[in-house]
Amino acid sequence: MVYQNNSGGKKASEVELYGAFSAIPGVPESLLTAGTFIQDYKQEIAYIEPGAFFTEDRRRTRPSKQLRHPKDGKEMVLVSGGYEQNGEPFYESMGFFIHGQGNDPSEDSYNPFYFKPERGNLQDVSSFYIDKYEVTNQEYSKFLKETNTSPPPHWKSGNFPAGKEHHPVSGITYREAETYARWSGKRLPTEMEWEKAARGTGMTWKINRDESYSFFPSPLEYPFGNDFDSTLCNTLESKQNDTISVYELAKKSASPYGVIGMCGNIAEWTSSDYLPYPGHSLKRNTFGKMHKVIRGGSFSSTKEEATTYFRSFGGIPNLKTDRRAGFRLVWDLPGK
C-alpha cells in the first residue's frame, strides 16, 4: 500500500509488485509522499514461498512456471489449473481436461464420456507443481543417508549401480516412495494429475451463441505428439534395454507443460487406487484400494504401454514389497 498526498489529505493507492522486494535503507517506512517512484524499491533475489502468490484478500498473481524445490532442490514446472487459449486463461479457477481414451471399452483406460465432453464429466484438476524429471538414484541416495533408511535390496553394498547416478531410481515400493515424499515435503501425484501433466488439457473449445461452452477432444497419444518416436521415448522399440539418464532425454520429448520422461524409461507410481473410471462398467478382480495406479511405461514396455492414457498397477502381494516402479513428486500451491 502506498500513501499519497491528495489536496491536503492522504489517499491510499494500491501498487502490485511482482517478486520479492525490500525497502532501500533510508527510505521512510511510514508514509511516502506524492512523487515517490517505484524504483525507490529494489528487487530482492530470494526464494518465494508459494503463499507469496496470494495477498491477504486472496487476490491472485500468476505463479512462476518453473522453480526449484527448497528441500530436495529438484526443478519443478507448473501444471496450470486454468485452460489456456493463445496464452489467455480460460476457466482459470478450474483445471478441466479430458482423460483416458474413447475407442476400446474393454480397456481400463476407457472413458465413456471421451467423445461427449461437458463440464459435468470433465476432470477438474487444480494447479500444482510437478518434478520436471523423475527422482534419480543420486537424489534417492541423498534421502537414504539423511534419514538413515535402508537402501533397496538390489543396490549392491547399499550403493546404486556405478555410473547411473542420473538414471531414474527404480525398483521402489509404493511405501518407500511415500516416505521419500514426506521427507521432501511433497507428495505423489494422483493419476489425473499425472495424466494432465503428460498430455495437457486434451481439448479445444468454442463459445456458443447462448454463451455456453462446447468442448472437443484433441488429447495427445504421447507427451510430444500423436506419432511415436523411439528417439523421444525409451521403450522396447528404442532398443536401449535399460534406463538412461533423465538428462539424456531430448527436450523435444517434453509434455505441453515441459515435463521430461513421461514416456518410457521407468514407470511411475501415482497415489490413486486402481479402479474403473466413472461411468465405465468394466469389472476386474484387480480393481480395488489395495492396488495403486502406475503410469508412463518403462524401457521394457511397448509403445502402446507408454501412451499418456495407458494404465498399469502395483501392489502385489502388497504396497510395501512390490518393487514395480520409480516416481516423481508434486507440490501443491496454497489454497488446496
59-86 pLDDT, tens digit per residue, is 445 678 899 999 999 999 999 876 555 5
Residue 245 has pLDDT above 60, yes or no: yes
Cβ contact 307:283 at 8 Å = no
Higher-confidence residue of 26 and 329: namely 329
Residue 310 has a pLDDT of 98
Task: Grade residue 219 by pLDDT with cuts at 50, 70 and 90.
Answer: confident
Read off the pLDDT of residues 186-198 as tens digits, 9 standing for 90 and up: 999 999 999 999 9
Residue 119 has a pLDDT of 83
Helix (H) or strand (E) holding 183, with range, is helix 174-184
Sequence spans of domains, the chain: 1-46, 65-80+125-200+222-332
Task: Grade residue 15 by pLDDT with cuts at 50, 70 and 90.
Answer: low
Residue 58 has pLDDT above 50, yes or no: no
Report residue 298 CA to chain centroid gap: 19
- 16 exposed, middle or buried (CB, 10 Å; 0-12, 13-18, 19+)? exposed
Residue 33 has a pLDDT of 44
What single-letter DSSP state applies at residue 52? G
Cβ contact 241:136 at 8 Å = no
Residue 64 has a pLDDT of 83
- Cβ partners under 8 Å of residue 57, min gap 6: none
Residue 108 has a pLDDT of 97
Read off the pLDDT of residues 268-315 as tens digits, 9 standing for 90 and up: 999 999 999 999 999 999 999 999 999 999 999 999 999 999 999 999
Q: Is the pTM of this model over 0.85?
A: no
Residue 23 has pLDDT above 70, yes or no: no
- Cβ partners under 8 Å of residue 120, min gap 6: none
Domain 65-80+125-200+222-332 class in CATH: alpha beta
Looking at every residue in the chain, the average pLDDT score rounds to 84
**CA dihedral of residues 134, 267, 256, 196 (deg, nearest 10):** -110
Question: Order of strands, edge to edge, in the sheet holding 128-131?
Answer: 66-68, 75-79, 128-131, 330-332
* 163-179 mean pLDDT: 98
Of 68, 74, 26, 72, the C-alpha closest to 49 is: 68
Most confident of 63-72, 91-100, 232-241, 279-288: 232-241
